Structure 1
Amino acid sequence: MKQNQLGKSELFVSEIGLGCMSFQSEQQQTGTRVIEEAIDRGINFFDTADLYEYGLNEQLVGSALKGKRQDIILATKVGNRWNEDKQGWHWDPSKSYIKTAVKESLQRLQTDYLDLYQLHGGTIEDPIDETIEAFEELQKEGLIRYYGISSIRPNVIREYTKKSNIVSVMMQYSIFDRRPEEEMLNFLHENEISVIARGPVARGLLTDKWQKKVVENGYLDYSKAEVETLIEKIETLPVPLLSTALSYVLTSKTVATAIPGARTVEQLEEIVNAYEETLSNEQREQIKAWAKASVYEAHR
């Protein structure tokens, strides 16, 4: 599988990564099998977060990757802090919390360093300088190799681009969510920052099972009827739907990796097999003519 450089870092990530959020702690065996199969199929980028299942997701991923650490690029996220009663969480981008949380993540993941540590959200009102200072110190201490942010907020992304040394921005990007195209993709490329594309299959709408995934309120600014119409148009192309979804985002020069989730080995195999078929430039342009060119309305 092709690998791309992540921003200006020394990390080279597989074009298909694995978003591990869907793994449940009670399904350790299944999650381990998926991760092992992913490595066998050329995937080297694995993404989790301390928020997922109170940190149990990190434990599962860490256990599954034991003995394989040198072969993979491991990423997790920080900033969403569970309340003591575990009934909800609050946002905490403080330096003190980040520097405490990283050690807990390292312990759960059974590793002494992270390849990529990401701020799991953020607002323009955050103490951004303090947050950046935390990541920079962790880098100097050798606990993380590089850092990035996970955000779709233009004002936050621009502020971190200006002030920090982020190598990546994780953002939602798909045929159904083309908002990054209007202002973020070229901007980040010019600043040598890569995009990690989450949600490339739009909650399953861009798979063969799409009819079971359509809901009454549609998807983002698409009504249910608009969702169905667009998918039916895309299906007239000779490239399978899942292949189309993955190829569409990966043909952007800014996207280093796309991270669909896979709960089972069968789902993983479908994704990797779909990756083999790609869109032509003409087919991609046709999709752009069919799909909405939406823009970010907030966070300016």
Structure 2
Amino acid sequence: MKKRKLGHSDLFVTELGLGCMSIGTEEKTARNIIETALEEGINYFDTADLYDFGENERMVGEALKSVREQVILATKVGNRWKSDKTGWTWDASKAYIKEGVKQSLKRLGTEYIDLYQLHGGTIEDPIDETIEAFEELKAEGFIRYYGISSIRPNVIREYINKSSIVSVMMQYSILDRRPEEEALPLLHEHGISVVTRGPLAKGLLSEKLLSKASEKGYLDYSYQELNEILPRLKERLAANRSFTEVALQYNLANPAVASVVAGASSPEQIRSNVAAVRSKSLTNEEVSFIREVTKPNIYMQHR
């Protein structure tokens, strides 16, 4: 599988990464999914301390132990479980990040994390302190690089200006083109890669199409609009290929994107996503058609 450089780092991530949140909590099933990903050439695995109270990190670390040096392991910090585990609070403080990394390293069974990401972030955070924490972790050798997982324009701009992030994880798809107007061009200009999530828009951009649609629609699309747009896209672009291919290739068509992180709850899903990423790229005409038919959504908040 092709690899792309992650920002200014020396990490080369496969064009498809595995979003580990969906592998479940059954050890054998989770291991099968991860081993299938490895067999198919995926080298980029993304988890978070939030997933299953840290159990996800433990399972991912265990499954990747024998190939640790050959893979890129990413996890996240910032969401702090309440003591009774009924929910979590946001904590971007230096003290919590530096404590959180120790717990993640222990669960992952590794001495270092390739990409450590802030799992969100608001403009009210102590951003200078947060950056200081990540920079110290880099200097101490606990992490190789860091990034943020955010779609907030004001937060992204702050980190571009003040930090040495190598990546931003963002939701991006044919039906969620919000990053295109300002985030993707700006990040690309500064040599910061985008790692995308949600490329299939909750299944709307898979073969299931409208069977996955809610009566409320999706983002600023009504159900009626989806009913008009999705068949048009499928007819024009997916007559001889899967709609999943079209969806993933749309993300990869943007030069700012380094990898598409897609979840999978079975080995079959992994293989389907891998086939989609290995398929032929969209032509300029196909990309233009998608942009003509869909909405150029913009971020309305967090300006």
Normalised by the size of structure 2, how large is the TM-score?
A: 0.97
4+ aligned runs moved over 6 Å, structure 1: none
| Cα distance in structure 1, aligned partners of 2:278 and 2:141 | 37
Aligned residue in 1 for 2:118: 119
**Contact in 1 for aligned 2:210/2:226 (Cα 8 Å):** no
Aligned residue in 1 for 2:62: 63
Q: Which piece of structure 1 moves more, 148-157 or 53-62?
A: 53-62
The SS at the match of 1:115 is: strand
Aligned residue in 1 for 2:292: 289
The SS at the match of 1:137 is: helix
Q: Which amino acid aligns with 1:108?
A: R
Following superposition, the deviation at residue 124 of structure 1 comes to: 0.5
Aligned residue in 1 for 2:266: 264
**Contact in 1 for aligned 2:61/2:109 (Cα 8 Å):** yes
Structure 2 residue 198 is matched with structure 1 residue 199: yes
Q: Which amino acid aligns with 2:215?
A: E
Unmatched runs of 5 consecutive residues or more in structure 2: none
Aligned residue in 1 for 2:75: 76
RMSD of Structure 2 on Structure 1 (CA):
0.8
Q: Which piece of structure 1 moves more, 275-284 or 214-223?
A: 275-284
The SS at the match of 1:231 is: helix
The SS at the match of 2:57 is: helix
Q: Which piece of structure 1 moves more, 225-234 or 72-81?
A: 225-234
Q: Could you list the per-position Cα deviations for residues 57-88 of structure 1 after superposition, in whole angstroms to 9, with x for gaps in the alignment?
A: 11111111111101100000000000001001
Aligned residue in 1 for 2:8: 8
Q: Could you list the per-position Cα deviations for residues 232-279 of structure 1 after superposition, in whole angstroms to 9, with x for gaps in the alignment?
A: 011112442000000001010000000111100011111111222231
Unmatched runs of 5 consecutive residues or more in structure 1: none
The SS at the match of 1:288 is: helix
Following superposition, the deviation at residue 40 of structure 1 comes to: 1.2
Following superposition, the deviation at residue 210 of structure 1 comes to: 2.2
Q: 254, 258, 261: which one pairs with 2:256?
A: 254
| Cα distance in structure 2, aligned partners of 1:211 and 1:155 | 34
Q: Which piece of structure 1 moves more, 274-283 or 78-87?
A: 274-283
| Cα distance in structure 2, aligned partners of 1:190 and 1:269 | 33
Q: Which amino acid aligns with 1:247?
A: Q
| Cα distance in structure 2, aligned partners of 1:241 and 1:229 | 16
| Cα distance in structure 1, aligned partners of 2:67 and 2:75 | 17
| Cα distance in structure 2, aligned partners of 1:229 and 1:272 | 29
Structure 2 residue 211 is matched with structure 1 residue 212: yes
The SS at the match of 2:296 is: coil
Normalised by the size of structure 1, how large is the TM-score?
A: 0.98
Aligned residue in 2 for 1:109: 108
Aligned length: 299
Aligned residue in 1 for 2:221: 222
